[in-house]
Amino acid sequence: MVTLMSFAALSFLVTAYFWIGLSVVVAVAANTRGRDSTGWFIGAILFSPLIMGLMLLALPEFVGPIHLARGR
């Protein structure tokens, strides 16, 4: 028989795994857009994967520093 305490623990674990899984998705998306995946992963863990994912989609793709010198 499932008690209320074990149901609460199971609910917490499912939520935690879901939260971490979505944070990994945000980190992979950040990496494909040229951003720091570790920072985006930590931000998604601390704030919300939904908020960080929407922020990532709103930002333009990062292409790196632009070299102004000729031949580079």
Q: What is the pLDDT of residues 18-64, one digit of tens each?
A: 999 999 999 999 999 999 999 999 999 999 999 999 999 999 988 77
In the Cβ-directed half-sphere of 2, how many Cα atoms lie within 13 Å?
6
For residue 71, is pLDDT > 60? no
- pLDDT at site 48: 96
Say which residue, 11 or 4, is predicted with more confidence: 11
- In terms of C-beta density within 10 A (0-12 exposed, 13-18 middle, 19 or more buried), how is residue 23 classed? buried
pLDDT on residue 69: 54
Is residue 50 within 8 Å of 32, Cβ to Cβ? no
Q: Taking the model in full, what pTM does it have?
A: 0.79
